[in-house]
Every structure is written in C-alpha cells, then in structure tokens.
Homo-oligomer: A and B are copies of this chain.
C-alpha cells in the first residue's frame, strides 16, 4: 500500500520540480512595478485606493481566469468564482493578512474555501496575488495529472492551500478548528503588555451545499458556544445547487438559524457588485469580538453570463466558447484567454509587498516578546517548530503480566495523562463521552469562552464536526497534536472527516473505545463488527488495536510520531492482561511474535489483536499441553506490518506454515491475507446482540475452545 502511495507523492513532487518558470514574465513585471512603490518594510502597508473601474476590472479578472481554466480543462465549476469574485477582491486585496512568497507565514489570516468545487476561485486569487505554486501555466493545467491546481483544493499539493476541501461542509468545520487553534495559541502565549504574537482571523467561504450538511451545523453550534470572534464566514447565498433552485429542498431561514447558534449575522444584499457592502460587513464582523460572524452574501451564480447565470448550468460545467464570448461582451472584458491586464496584476501583486511588511512587523513583535518573555518565547518556538520534545517517549510506562488487568481504555487514559505534561501540543477531547472514553487530561481545564488556554475540548454529541475541527486544529501548524474520542462504532458518523485526515496528511489521533461486542448490553447499534476492516482498507490511516498496556503505550508512540498520518486506536471497555513479550517495539512493527513453543519450528500459528490476543495465548497453552508447537502473533497494526521487509514478514508468518487461525471479535473480512484460503477466523460476521459481554463471547463462539478446535482441525 505504502509503496504505491510513495510513488504517487514522489510523482507529484517531481511534477512540482518540473514546472518552470514559476513566475511568468508578465508576473515578474507586475511584481517589479509594485516593488518600486515599496514602503519601509516594518510599516503597515495598506492597499492603495483605486478607481471603481479598476476594482471591477480586478473582479472580472478573477472571473475570467476561472472561466478560461474550466473551459480549457473541459471540466470544473465556473459559477461559484463568477459569483464570489467581489468577495475575492475585497478579501485578498483589502482585508486579509498573508504573504504570497511565504505561504507559511505563521501569523497569516487563514482562508478556507469550504465550497471546494469552486477551486478556480482560490487558484485565481493565488495566481493574481503571486503565490509561487500557481503561475499561469498551473492555471492552464487545471485538473490535469501532476498539476498543482487539482479539481478541489488539496493542502498537500498546493502551498498556500490550508486544508483539503471538496466534501461539502468539511471546510467550514476546518475553519472552526483553525479558529480554535488561533484562540488557544493566543490565550496561551500573548501577554497583555506586549503586542500579540498570535493574532489573525480565519475566513471561510461556504455555499448552500455546506449549509445543508449537518456537519456544518454541528461545528457552527460549537463555534457559537465557544464565541470564536475571529472566525468570519461568508455564505455565498446564490440559491442554486445541482438539482436546481434551492427552493426545491432548502427553504429554511439560514440567518435566523445562525443567530440561534449564537452567531453575529450580517447580510450583503447584492454580493455581485456591492463592494462597499462587503467592506462594511467585514468591518462589522471584526467589531463583534465575542461571536463568530456569518456574512450572508446574496449573489448570482455565474454572474455575468447572460444565458447561464442564476442557473444550475453554470455550476459544474464549462461555459463553452459561445457563452464565454457572450460573457466577455456582457462584462466588457476585452482581453484574450488567460490574459490578465497589467494594471490588474499591479493591484493584486501589492499583496507581496504587504505580506513582506506583515512578516517584518511580526518579526519586530516577536523580537520584543522574546526580549521580555524569553522562556515563553522558547516554548512558543519549540511548539510551533512541530518537532516533538526530546525523549518524550520516556514518559510511556511499561507493564508486566503480573500487573493488574485493565481495559485498554484505562491504559489510554494513563498514556494521555503521562503525555499531557511532556507534550505541550496535546489538545483534545470527546464527543460527550469523556467519562467513558477516559480522555480528560487531568492537568488541564476545559477550553471554553474566556478560557481558551485550556486543553480539554468538549465537543458535545457532534462526532463528524469533532473530526473536522481536529483537522483544522492540526493544520493550523502550531505544533498542536489534536486527539478526539467517541465509541468506536460512531466512527460511522465521522468517517469522511477521518478520511480527510488521512488524505490531507493530518495526524489526528482518534481514540475509539468500546471496540467490540465486549461492550455488552448496549447491543448491536453500539457494537463494532466491520469497523476494523473498514479502516484497515482506508489509505494512509493507521488502524491500531492494542492488546494490554505495552501495546497501548506502543500505539500512542506510533500515533504521536506520525504527524502526517492519522491513527485510530481501538480500545476495549473490558479488562485484559498485559501478556508476556508484548512490547512497544513489537507494536511499532505492526505484527510480531509474542510466543513460540520451544523446541523446533511451529506447526500452527495463532494470531489475534486487542482483547482476543489473550484467547490465542490461552489456546497456545492448551495446545502445547497436547504436544503441539504453537506460535502466537500479535497484530496491533496491519498497515505497519505491511511496511516491514519481506524477510521480516516471512520470519513472522513463514509461507510453509499454512495451519493458521486468527481471532478477533470482529468480521473475518480481510484476515484471508494472513491466514490464507485454508485458514480459519474465530470472530463474528453478523451483528452483535444485547447481553453481558461474557455471554456474548460464549454465544458467538469467540472462545479459547473454538481456537483450539480450529487449530486441531488443521493439524
């Protein structure tokens, strides 16, 4: 699995290196013009006032870049950029703080295009303002293999894109997470007597689709509860979705709903042309400091297209030559395909100089901070470096078989609490199951309005938003290590957010307790069966199911180390031993031998995970009493095992030993790749039931006796 992935990433990287020149000659000129006007680097640089005609020209430039790119690629979504271009102009030219030549400038405002299908909007803005990853040839390569301008914004492809968006609703939740990270870092590090070193806004554009998705309501309810005043969401209220006009399915009063969620709401009635209205709305948003703001911006999708505006036709298909010509005429755009007038570049490339000035200002601010607060600055630098503290893993305890039997959720609680002091970036919580998931860090209070420096997050019963918010927290790139928790079954509610972690290289830690029928009486709606298989099948997701204390420590070690791969840790409700030879080191290999009968090669291999590893171990003892030679293999993480060398894997599962039994209180699906066509799986391929856990194991036949029977049947 990893090999193919690495090849792909390598190929993307190669694609990156292959493009040259990064800046087109025209762009180069534009930049030099702006440079000539440069103010002293440390002063604040405001965008110069320009004529309304030139503003409109800038706005139309955004529109036509999108139109032309979608036409050229013969696929894409021109309607959103055409309607949102005025927002783009105001945000990028007048409002946002960012540095095109240094997309990673720490104190930048974050922007999220939640309506990710309108990616050409973001690429247009990035091109016009001079981001190096989006020169004109990348605009012309929109949606092509190896380009830096894929169909939806991907943070791992294009520098300057904060988060991967596309699945509707994820982006606004990521934006909430980015705002959480800002509020947290600001509360932890800013000091009243020096200028704040963490101080930026998070902007998000979302559309009707994002608004309809339940995930956005979850996250926005939390944002209102938390009072995230520096979150400003612009709602592209164009009343068109793929099925047509929203009046066929979406007639609620969105503004009133957001007020009910605790947001400040402003309405810009004509988002197509009312630039002053947008300016004013954003100013009002900034003035309200204790609530997030929703700016409802009523627009026409495909504004400017005489025959397709305000219709579904312009949403997700190229305008085509004829309608493009009509739109050029209608908007008075006398420029060729992909042509950007010099004066438009002159305006937008002012961002480069403003960005440099902002960076310089921040450098001065941090220098003053460092002088007065050297210890705090060192902490800030260490945290935001993204590097883990030296020797952090020494805090992880180890266990012996003689230690008290505990549930792995209890071991998880231990790990979180030994890690919390040594990993200052650890932040997280549960979707209203903290007493069951055991995920509170005892050294911290709750992150709440007015106490943003705390590290325990209370997500409420909002699993999907929880995952997406954690992605935002992580991708703020402050060195924060977010974890989140619920019952393992409820990964079903948050699966797309987890997939987005895996895709967007967001190393969130998913702490998932109550991992099998072992939870007992709550019954089949609460008992995972297919979930281990479903995550083992997901690319770039580390699915861990530790057995006992040492493997839980090992799982956390892996999870913390993997900052670009999410880890899901499945943990038991019920007790189990820490078996002999289970180890942190073995866990890191994904699969490893914990027992071999002395005196020759094994005849049969028993393998298991989590709470069932002890059954395999017990079965081995019984089989040995009958003179069999048995190997027991623990398989806490299939993905890590697959990444081991062929030699190692052959040493663990020698090809010539075909008598193999696996045990896991879960579906057999997937185990064939370790047990082969002749092996046997002791598990459960149906839904569970409501009864005490020990009864369920007995009734479903997940017992030592069944393992022994299966093994003997093969010998």
A-side residues, CB < 8 A to B, are 1, 4-5, 8, 11-12, 73, 75-76, 116-117, 143-147, 150-152, 154, 164-169, 208-210, 212-218, 221-222, 224-225, 241-243, 246, 248-257, 259-262, 312, 430, 432-436, 446, 448, 458-465, 489-490, 492-493, 495-496, 499-500, 502-503, 520-526, 529-530, 533-534, 536-540, 655, 667-670, 672-673, 676-677, 684-687, 689-692, 695-696, 699-700
| Known pairs A154-B524, A166-B526, A256-B259 / 11 extra A-B pairs, C-beta < 8 Å | A143-B691, A145-B690, A150-B689, A152-B525, A208-B461, A214-B464, A224-B252, A243-B433, A243-B435, A248-B446, A533-B670
Find chain B residues with CB under 8 A from A221 CB. 212, 250, 252
Cα distance A154–B533 when bound, in Å? Answer: 25
Closest B-chain residue to A6, C-beta based?
Answer: B686
Q: Which of A150, A533, A686 has the most CB of B within 10 A?
A: A686
Cα distance A215–B213 when bound, in Å? Answer: 8
- Chain B nearest CB from A475 CB (Å) reads 15
Find chain B residues with CB under 8 A from A167 CB. 489-490, 492-493, 525-526
Given contact pairs A208-B461, A676-B677, A525 touches B687 in the complex (Cβ within 8 A): no
Cα distance A259–B489 when bound, in Å? Answer: 32
Given contact pairs A435-B242, A458-B249, A537 touches B677 in the complex (Cβ within 8 A): no
* Selected A-B contacts with CB under 8 Å, 28 pairs: A8-B686, A8-B689, A143-B691, A146-B691, A150-B523, A151-B521, A151-B690, A152-B522, A152-B525, A165-B525, A166-B523, A166-B525, A167-B492, A169-B461, A212-B432, A213-B463, A224-B251, A242-B432, A243-B435, A249-B459, A464-B493, A492-B495, A493-B496, A503-B524, A533-B669, A533-B670, A673-B677, A676-B677
Cα distance A525–B169 when bound, in Å? Answer: 13
Find chain B residues with CB under 8 A from A430 CB. 243
Q: Are the C-beta atoms of B462 and A212 separated by less than 8 Å?
A: yes
Cα distance A303–B525 when bound, in Å? Answer: 27
Find chain B residues with CB under 8 A from A540 CB. 686-687
Q: Are the C-beta atoms of B435 and A522 separated by less than 8 Å?
A: no
- Chain B nearest CB from A505 CB (Å) reads 11
Q: Are the C-beta atoms of A75 and B461 separated by less than 8 Å?
A: no
Given contact pairs A76-B521, A490-B167, A242 touches B151 in the complex (Cβ within 8 A): no
Q: Are the C-beta atoms of B213 and A225 separated by less than 8 Å?
A: no
Cα distance A687–B243 when bound, in Å? Answer: 28
Indicate which residue in B210, B655, B667 contacts A537 across the interface (CB closer than 8 Å).
B667
Cα distance A436–B465 when bound, in Å? Answer: 27
Cα distance A700–B5 when bound, in Å? Answer: 10
Closest B-chain residue to A684, C-beta based?
Answer: B4
- Chain B nearest CB from A259 CB (Å) reads 7
Find chain B residues with CB under 8 A from A143 CB. 521, 523, 690-691
Find chain B residues with CB under 8 A from A5 CB. 685-687
Q: Are the C-beta atoms of B168 and A461 separated by less than 8 Å?
A: yes
- Chain B nearest CB from A671 CB (Å) reads 8
Find chain B residues with CB under 8 A from A691 CB. 143-146
- Chain B nearest CB from A248 CB (Å) reads 5
Given contact pairs A4-B686, A166-B523, A677-B676, A251 touches B243 in the complex (Cβ within 8 A): no
